């Protein structure tokens, strides 16, 4: 397995190796001065993660995947590499006493002790400087500055940048404003949902031993069906993906002006990798440009002037190669350069698709599989859809679905609660929505987010740009999309959040919606992502002008989302004490940022499916540094394994919520 550079934040980023080589990408933490700057990053199509952390001085830190040139492009938008500790919050300059409302004050106990989280709002808005003083058992106390939360120009309240350690359980908080406002509240417990039954005799779990590329995931699905034929069936989703394949290419000459990009008409795996191109000096004066196709070789004889010097420009050679009868390749000038430079002779140059997976990794279009689990798979039970890896680099997410499937099937014979669950629910599990991108992430470029369909024109399709191609599957859906005028996706084919040429342009998104349309008993869905530790639901997008979101759920529906979430989060926490933070639990637009064209929105608004999103991989508390630390997309397997265990428990809890749906309703 070959992995390219994809590391934690560095003081500086490595340079590009050569004109045909992609820039290395790094996972870094960026600082922007305010929420407006974060919106500019989202609007630019920057490849941001879900780990967004407001700071006391009003700035925001966000993890992102960037190249050196990409970082340079983000600097004018206000982004810099994060360093050191942010400055404290500024003093409130207002002279009028403000009114403070405590929206939520909760404590939680994790494996690392007690933590406090507070959310409040001030009538003075974002200009208010709020301080929380908490008190707990034995006279323990502490003080924390709050951070204003402003999104798309709208003040949404104050909160903590991150939950703060309390040492003991906090009992009461007092919030004071520099303008004189005061509010007090008792501190409740979080998540305080229904506790799972943890001590079931003989209950089996822990079936995951490694990260798994798509072929292993499909093999696991088929093996589970073979072992449990009475409880399962395999659904072959109808839309084949592009496949782990690309056209073969070569960059010939010296960019920008004296170079051509040669591309095979066939995919590399279908003969494109066997092709080669040569530019030769005919060795005589006054010769015309000529192209000869000799089997798998394309030989270009350059034009010469009266002295015998080659005079063919890049534009002329590109046109001649493309137009040659029977040519197995096309050619274009380098990026947006007109190609006026004269090409020098070049030796026979082999084309390549630059794909590094072993030969036994299929290059063919991929048939995505869903594993259906339950004793009544006839549409009579409430359906639950769990799908993962819309984003290729999120290696933990398929493990969540496979671990959950293993637990459900292997415990059915011995565990009454599992038997009851499979009799009351109809479960659909798709471990990898985006297998092509996942293969590319495993074998070529582990920062790959998108699929492998290249919609870029020739000006954006030279080999050095190959890591920027593809469509963000979770921006390609048809509700609240970029094409509807919603914010949080990009029309730039090289962007990390490229929405594609149109809604549902990609087979990956069409497969997810096909399941919802074909099996109308599906009333619940869980889209498993990483990382950052969120639990979210619609609305997931807004229009930037006025921050107009998609219609919010009714108060009753919102209460159901939240009540269900608290129960599911209890199941996650029961595994190893990981608590999803309260300020990261809620509608996407409230707790993260706008994500135009995401799948949960389409499932909710068009199909009435309660659509949730996990962002597995919560921050880990480091008692040595006294700070929360991010885990990344591909943490060491010991951590990835732990995340799979806890969020599989959360998925099973969600299935239990779905099984109770009729009674709840």
Distance, in Å, from the CA atom of 57 to the CA atom of 30, rounded to the nearest integer, reads: 15
- Which residue is it, tokens 């974002």? 126
For residue 5, the tally of other CB atoms under 10 A from its CB is 17
Q: Give the pLDDT of residue 366.
A: 98
Q: Give the pLDDT of residue 85.
A: 65
Q: Which residues of 104-117 are buried (b: 16+ CB within 10 A; e: fewer)?
A: bbbbbebeeebbbb
Distance, in Å, from the CA atom of 366 to the CA atom of 381, rounded to the nearest integer, reads: 30
Extended beta strands in 128-272, E state? 130-136, 141-145, 147-151, 154-159, 164-165, 170-177, 182-186, 188-189, 232-236, 247-254, 258-267
Extended beta strands in 336-489, E state? 346-350, 369-373, 382-388, 425-430
Extended beta strands in 518-630, E state? 522-530, 534-537, 542-543, 548-549, 585-587, 610-616, 620-622, 627-629
Distance, in Å, from the CA atom of 271 to the CA atom of 363, rounded to the nearest integer, reads: 12
Q: Give the pLDDT of residue 6.
A: 37
Using DSSP, state whether 279 is helix, strand or coil. strand
Distance, in Å, from the CA atom of 529 to the CA atom of 398, rounded to the nearest integer, reads: 9
Q: Give the pLDDT of residue 193.
A: 87
Distance, in Å, from the CA atom of 595 to the CA atom of 140, rounded to the nearest integer, reads: 42
Distance, in Å, from the CA atom of 93 to the CA atom of 126, rounded to the nearest integer, reads: 12
* Cα→Cα distances 159→89, 146, 388, 630, Å: 12, 5, 31, 20
Contact 92, 108 (CB under 8 A): no
Q: List per-block mean pLDDT (blocks of 10 residues) for the chain, which spans 665 residues.
A: 35 52 92 89 92 86 92 92 69 70 94 94 93 94 92 87 94 95 96 83 95 98 98 98 98 97 98 98 97 97 97 98 97 97 97 97 98 97 98 98 98 96 98 98 97 97 97 98 97 97 98 98 97 96 94 95 95 95 95 96 98 95 93 97 97 96 68
pTM of the full structure: 0.93
DSSP state of 96: S
* Six token digits for residue 142: 């502490």
Residues catalogued as catalytic: 615
Provide φ and ψ at 649, rounded to 5°.
Answer: -65, -40
């Amino acid at each position: 397995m070959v992995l390219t550079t994809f590391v934690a934040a560095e003081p500086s980023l490595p340079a590009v190796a050569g004109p045909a080589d992609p820039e290395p990408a790094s996972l870094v933490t960026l600082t922007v001065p305010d929420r407006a700057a974060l919106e500019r990053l989202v609007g630019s199509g920057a490849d941001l993660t879900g780990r967004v952390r407001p700071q006391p001085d009003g700035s925001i830190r966000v993890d992102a995947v960037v190249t050196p040139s990409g970082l340079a492009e983000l600097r004018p938008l206000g982004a810099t590499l994060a360093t050191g500790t942010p400055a404290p919050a500024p003093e409130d300059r207002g002279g009028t006493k403000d009114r403070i409302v405590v929206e939520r004050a909760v404590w939680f106990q994790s494996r690392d002790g007690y933590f406090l989280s507070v959310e409040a709002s001030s009538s003075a808005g974002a200009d208010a400087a709020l301080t929380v003083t908490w008190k707990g058992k034995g006279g323990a106390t502490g003080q924390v500055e709050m951070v204003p939360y402003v999104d798309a120009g709208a003040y949404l309240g104050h909160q903590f940048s991150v939950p703060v350690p309390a040492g003991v359980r906090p009992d009461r908080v007092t919030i004071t404003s520099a303008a004189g406002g005061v509010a007090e509240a008792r501190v409740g417990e979080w998540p305080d949902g229904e506790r799972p039954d943890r001590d079931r005799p003989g209950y089996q779990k822990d079936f995951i031993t490694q990260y798994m590329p798509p072929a292993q995931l499909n093999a696991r699905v088929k093996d589970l069906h073979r072992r449990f034929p009475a409880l399962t069936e395999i659904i072959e989703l109808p839309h084949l993906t592009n496949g782990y394949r690309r056209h073969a290419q070569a960059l010939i000459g010296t960019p920008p002006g004296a170079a051509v990009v040669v591309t095979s008409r066939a995919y590399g795996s279908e003969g494109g990798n066997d092709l080669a191109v040569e530019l030769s000096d005919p060795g005589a004066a006054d010769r015309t440009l000529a192209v000869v196709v000799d089997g798998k070789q394309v030989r270009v004889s350059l034009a010469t002037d009266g002295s015998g010097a080659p005079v063919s420009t890049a534009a002329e050679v590109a046109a001649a190669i493309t137009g040659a009868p029977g040519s197995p390749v096309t050619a274009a000038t380098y990026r947006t350069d007109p190609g006026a430079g004269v090409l020098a002779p070049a030796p026979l140059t082999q084309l390549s698709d630059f794909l590094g997976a072993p030969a036994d990794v299929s290059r063919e279009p991929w048939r995505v599989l869903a594993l259906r689990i339950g004793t009544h798979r006839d549409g009579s039970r409430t359906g639950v859809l769990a799908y993962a890896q819309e984003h290729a680099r999120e290696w933990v997410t398929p493990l969540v679905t496979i671990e959950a499937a293993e637990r459900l099937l292997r415990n059915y014979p011995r565990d009454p609660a599992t038997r009851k669950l499979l009799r009351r629910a109809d479960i659909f599990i798709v471990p990898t929505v985006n297998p092509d991108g996942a293969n590319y992430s495993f074998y070529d470029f582990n920062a790959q987010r998108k699929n492998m369909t290249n919609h870029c024109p020739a000006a954006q399709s030279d080999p050095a740009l190959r890591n920027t191609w593809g469509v963000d599957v979770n921006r390609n859906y048809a509700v609240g999309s970029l094409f509807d005028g919603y914010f949080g996706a990009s029309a730039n084919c090289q962007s990390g959040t490229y929405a594609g040429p149109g809604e549902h342009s990609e087979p990956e998104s069409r497969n997810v919606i096909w399941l919802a349309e074909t099996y109308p008993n599906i009333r619940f869905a869980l889209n498993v992502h990483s990382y950052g530790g969120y639990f979210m639901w619609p609305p997931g997008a807004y229009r930037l002008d006025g921050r107009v979101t998609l219609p919010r759920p009714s108060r009753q529906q919102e209460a159901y989302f939240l009540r269900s979430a608290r129960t599911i989060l209890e199941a996650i926490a029961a595994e190893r004490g990981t608590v999803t933070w309260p300020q990261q639990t809620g509608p996407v637009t409230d707790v993260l940022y706008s994500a135009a064209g995401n799948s949960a929105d389409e499932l909710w608004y068009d199909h009435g499916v309660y659509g949730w999103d996990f962002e597995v991989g919560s921050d880990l508390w480091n008692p040595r540094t006294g700070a929360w630390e991010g885990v990344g997309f591909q943490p060491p397997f010991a951590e990835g394994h732990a995340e799979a265990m806890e969020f599989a428990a959360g998925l099973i809890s969600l299935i239990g919520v779905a099984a109770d749906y009729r009674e709840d309703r």
